[in-house]
Amino acid sequence: MIEAWKQVLTLSKLRSGQVVTILSGADTHPQTLAAALIAVQSFGAIVNRLDLQPINGEKAHSRDALSYLGTTPLTGNRAAIAALKASDLVLDLMTLLFSAEQHEILKAGVKILLAVEPPEVLARLVPTADDRKRVLAASEKLGRAKLMHITSAAGTDFYCPLGEFGPISEYGFADEPGRWDHWPSGFTLTFPNDGQAYGRIVLDRGDILLPQKDYVREPIEMTIEGGYARRIEGGVDAELLRDYMAAFNDPEAFAISHIGWGLQPRARWSTLGLFNREATIGMDARAFEGNFLFSLGPNNEGGGNRSTTCHIDIPLRGCTVELDGEAVVRDGKVLDRVAHA
């Protein structure tokens, strides 16, 4: 793990004398924390550990940190924010995703790298410079597109007008001031124009629901109108999803959030079935090469103003993703493979 951290920190351009602040909480993996402390110090950098107290998430039904997006331990915490803004690099080992405070810190030019998967997953999915090149190339293409159209043999036929929000790339390290990234990752994403996505999404058997972290056992059909999933139909799996979402009691939970596709060849679709449900947050599922990843919930991360505490990520297999009529993924295969032997 120390070697893995060193590679990530090198790619993140850590220099001697810089200040790194590690955010930790009750669930931070001790091996990840210990390795990070040693690795940062081996660069001659100054390291702080800022341990935040948990805040109450009374309404959270899942313990998955990516599934519930509300107030964070940073809310109103001037001292913690000041520390983070005065750092060169923040290693977030406790998941501060999507908060206003995070945006403020990034605007101060701080790099943030989230890393909360278990050590085994982190070690297998250490990012590379090639990951960055491939994700940036895809991101650029996505940034130029006006329409994303997704189809699948299972029945998906989903249209996302684009242009309102820019593309976002995640390749696993934070090499530029103000950049947020997530180790492990490897995908590009954007948000459909607000209220404009429409069509049908069919989750086929074997597709994945996060935070349920299980494979769908029977098809779930979503009808999207005006940017929201208006109907979620199917069998027991559809009912479970509806019951889960109903607990948030928030119509914004049904909005289409980010959309994009996976580009990480070392991540795999089948990995989810090998771990305890709560042992991972599912980055293999989000990043495996060729999946179409869409989500329900907020778009404030992308620059919109919709926020909701409910956030569901859904990677689909076997889709064709077209940008302005040109396929970038066909039947679950990324079409840039030639260049990436």
By the criterion CB under 8 A, which residues form the site for a copy of itself?
A: 2, 17, 19-21, 24, 37-38, 41, 46-53, 56-64, 76-87, 120, 123-124, 205-206, 211-212, 214-215, 217, 235-236, 239-241, 243-244, 247, 268-271, 273-279
CA distances (Å), origin 187, targets 17, 44, 137, 237, 303: 32, 32, 11, 27, 18
Cβ at position 31, least distance to a copy of itself in Å: 8
Task: Determine contact, residues 149/197, Cβ cutoff 8 Å.
Answer: no
Cβ at position 139, least distance to a copy of itself in Å: 26
Cβ at position 57, least distance to a copy of itself in Å: 8
Antiparallel, parallel or unpaired: β 319-323 and 147-152: antiparallel
Cβ at position 110, least distance to a copy of itself in Å: 9
Sequence-ordered list of residues with C-beta below 8 angstroms from that of 10, at least 6 positions apart, any chain? none
The label of the residue with tokens 């090198």 reads 10
3-class state of residue 96 by DSSP: coil
Bridge partners, 91 (sequence order): 22, 113
Antiparallel, parallel or unpaired: β 198-203 and 187-190: unpaired
Between 224 and 241, name the residue whose CB sits nearer to a copy of itself.
241
CA distances (Å), origin 322, targets 280, 282, 295, 311, 319: 31, 25, 18, 25, 10
Cβ at position 225, least distance to a copy of itself in Å: 24
Between 68 and 198, name the residue whose CB sits nearer to a copy of itself.
68
Between 50 and 168, name the residue whose CB sits nearer to a copy of itself.
50
Between 77 and 196, name the residue whose CB sits nearer to a copy of itself.
77
* Residue 227 exposure: Cα atoms within 13 Å on the Cβ side: 19
Task: Determine contact, residues 72/39, Cβ cutoff 8 Å.
Answer: no
Cβ at position 214, least distance to a copy of itself in Å: 7
What is the rounded CA–CA span in Å between residue 283 and residue 122? 10
Cβ at position 177, least distance to a copy of itself in Å: 15
First-to-last C-alpha distance (Å) of the chain: 27
Between 198 and 269, name the residue whose CB sits nearer to a copy of itself.
269
Between 32 and 169, name the residue whose CB sits nearer to a copy of itself.
32
Task: Determine contact, residues 229/287, Cβ cutoff 8 Å.
Answer: no
Between 19 and 97, name the residue whose CB sits nearer to a copy of itself.
19
Amino acid occupying residue 7:
Q
Between 177 and 226, name the residue whose CB sits nearer to a copy of itself.
177
Cβ at position 118, least distance to a copy of itself in Å: 8
